[in-house]
Amino acid sequence: MSPVSGPRPELAELLAAARVVSVPMRVRFRGILHREALLIPGPAGWGEFSPFPEYDDVEAAPWLAAALEAAGEGYPEPVRDSVPVNGTVPAVGVEQVEAVLARFGAVPAVKVKVAERGQTVAEDLARVAEVRRLLPDAGIRVDANGGWDVPTAVGALEALAEAGLEYAEQPVPDIAGLRAVRLELARRGIPVLVAADESVRKETDPLRVAREDAADLIVVKVAPLGGVRRALEIVAAAGLPAVVSSALDTSVGIRAGVALAASLPELPYACGLGTLSLMSGDVSGELMLPDGGALAVRDVPVSGELLERWAASPEVTQWWLDRLGRVYGQLAER
C-alpha cells in the first residue's frame, strides 16, 4: 500500500490507500460495541478518521483535517516526553467498576461517566462512591455528556461533591446552561469546577464558552478541533486550563492526543487518553497504553496483520469510503 503524498492529497489517493477497521469493545461505550475507524497512511505516519456515525459531513470535516495533518505533516515538537493519563469508568454497574479499573493499572485520576440515559442519579452516586472506595487518593472527574438539565446537574453535583471531584465535564448540553450551573454551584459554595467538552468541539465558535465565562476549564480533542496545531491555537486563545481527551480512538488517534498534550505549555490535569483499555483490539502491536499512569511520546507502528484481523466488512468499508468522499468535498470548500 502506498502512502498518500501530503497534507492535502487527491481524493483518489486517499480512497486507494485507506483501510477501515471495526474493533470490538470490552464494554458498551457511547452505546457502541464496535469502534469503526478509517486509517490513512502518509509520509509522516498514519492518520485516523473516525467521527461517530451520527455526525454529519460538516461536523466530520475537522476529523478528516486532523487525520491528514497526522499522515502528511506529523506533529509539533513536544515540550515533555510523557503525559499523565486518567482511567475511564463507563456507565457500568457498581459490581463491574473494580474490573474496569484493573485494566488501567495505576492512574492518578479517573473519569466516571454519569447521566447515562435510562439510569438514575442514585446509580451515578453509587458508581462514583465505588471508585472513591477503590482509589481513595485518585482524582475523580465526572462526565455527563450534556445529559442533565440545570436543576438536576446542580443537585447531582452537590451530592457528588462529597466524593471530592476535580471537575464535572459538560453537565448540561448548552453554553447558557453551563454558565447557570457554574454560577449556582458558586452561589451554594459547592467546590466543583465546570469543564466544557461538547460546548468547545461541537460549536462553530469553540471560544464562545470562554468568552461567556461558562466554564472553569476546557476539554480538547484533536480530531473534532481539526488537528493538533488548530487545538493548540484554540487553547491559547481560550486562556483556560485544558484537559486533553480522546474520542475513543485506536492507537493512531491516541498518538495525536499525546502529541497535543505533549505540546501544551501547561498540563495541569491528567489526560483522558487511556481509553484503548476499553477496546479488545488495536491496529498496532505496540499499543498506546499507559505505563505507571502515563503515556510516552512515541511513534505508533501500524500492523498489516492487525489491519487484516480487524478489517471491517465490505459493506461497512464502502460506507466509510463513501463518507470519506463526501467529507473530503466539505473540507475542500473551506
At 46 the three-state DSSP class reads: strand
What integer pLDDT is reported at residue 193 of this predicted model? 98
- On whether residue 1 sits in a domain, the answer given is no
Whether residue 207 is found in the same domain as residue 320 = no
CATH number of the CATH domain containing 308? 3.30.390.10
Cα–Cα distance measured from residue 115 to residue 64, given in angstroms and rounded to the nearest whole number: 30
The β-bridge partners of 165 are: 140
- On whether residue 6 sits in a domain, the answer given is no
* One-letter amino acid of 322: D
For residue 5, pLDDT over 80 is answered with: no
* One-letter amino acid of 74: G
For residue 24, pLDDT over 90 is answered with: yes
For residue 49, pLDDT over 60 is answered with: yes
Beta strand pairing status for 32-42 and 19-29?
antiparallel
For residue 109, pLDDT over 90 is answered with: yes
DSSP class of residue 85?
B
- Give the C-alpha distances (Å, rounded to integers) separating 96 from 91, 130, 232, 257: 10, 10, 36, 27
Whether residue 195 is found in the same domain as residue 284 = yes
Judge contact between 120 and 144, C-beta under 8 A: no
Query: What is the pLDDT of the chain when averaged over all its residues?
Result: 95
Whether residue 135 is found in the same domain as residue 271 = yes
For residue 6, pLDDT over 90 is answered with: no
Whether residue 226 is found in the same domain as residue 98 = yes
* The residue count for the chain: 334
Largest Cα separation within the chain, whole Å, is: 60
Whether residue 192 is found in the same domain as residue 107 = yes
* Burial (CB count within 10 angstroms: exposed 0-12, middle 13-18, buried 19+), residue 247: buried
Q: How confident is residue 183, by pLDDT bands cut at 50, 70 and 90?
A: very high
What integer pLDDT is reported at residue 18 of this predicted model? 98
In the block, cell 487527491 appears at 10
In the block, cell 488501567 appears at 104
What integer pLDDT is reported at residue 1 of this predicted model? 55
Q: How far is CA 56 from the centre of its chain?
A: 18
Cα–Cα distance measured from residue 180 to residue 292, given in angstroms and rounded to the nearest whole number: 38
DSSP class of residue 81?
S
Got the DSSP string for 127-145? Answer: HHHHHHHH-TTSEEEEE-T
User: Per-residue pLDDT averaged across 80-107, rounded?
Assistant: 95
Q: How confident is residue 2, by pLDDT bands cut at 50, 70 and 90?
A: low
At 199 the three-state DSSP class reads: helix
- On whether residue 2 sits in a domain, the answer given is no
Domain count, the chain: 2
User: Per-residue pLDDT averaged across 185-213, rounded?
Assistant: 93
What integer pLDDT is reported at residue 7 of this predicted model? 64
CATH number of the CATH domain containing 199? 3.20.20.120
Cα–Cα distance measured from residue 325 to residue 320, given in angstroms and rounded to the nearest whole number: 9
Cα–Cα distance measured from residue 142 to residue 124, given in angstroms and rounded to the nearest whole number: 9
Whether residue 313 is found in the same domain as residue 261 = no
What integer pLDDT is reported at residue 332 of this predicted model? 80
Specify the pTM: 0.93
User: Per-residue pLDDT averaged across 121-146, rounded?
Assistant: 97
What integer pLDDT is reported at residue 147 of this predicted model? 96
Least Cα distance to 144 among 107, 109, 181 occurs for 181
Whether residue 53 is found in the same domain as residue 101 = no
Whether residue 161 is found in the same domain as residue 291 = yes
What integer pLDDT is reported at residue 70 of this predicted model? 97
* Digit-coded pLDDT (tens) for 201-214: 887 888 999 999 99
Whether residue 184 is found in the same domain as residue 94 = yes
Whether residue 199 is found in the same domain as residue 317 = no
Cα–Cα distance measured from residue 141 to residue 191, given in angstroms and rounded to the nearest whole number: 12
What integer pLDDT is reported at residue 159 of this predicted model? 97
Cell representation of residue 136:
481513595
Whether residue 39 is found in the same domain as residue 185 = no
- On whether residue 163 sits in a domain, the answer given is yes
- On whether residue 4 sits in a domain, the answer given is no
Rg of the chain taking only CA atoms, in angstroms: 19
- Annotated binding-site residues for Mg(2+) read 143, 169, 197
* Burial (CB count within 10 angstroms: exposed 0-12, middle 13-18, buried 19+), residue 53: exposed
Whether residue 118 is found in the same domain as residue 218 = yes
* One-letter amino acid of 257: G
Cα–Cα distance measured from residue 320 to residue 334, given in angstroms and rounded to the nearest whole number: 21
Residues forming the active site? 113, 221
Return the higher-pLDDT residue of 31 and 5. Answer: 31
- Annotated binding-site residues read 143, 169, 197
What integer pLDDT is reported at residue 4 of this predicted model? 74
Judge contact between 202 and 46, C-beta under 8 A: no
Give the structural domain span for 186.
Answer: 82-296
Got the DSSP string for 9-30? Answer: --HHHHHHH-EEEEEEEEEEET
What integer pLDDT is reported at residue 231 of this predicted model? 97
Cell representation of residue 200:
468547545
- On whether residue 3 sits in a domain, the answer given is no
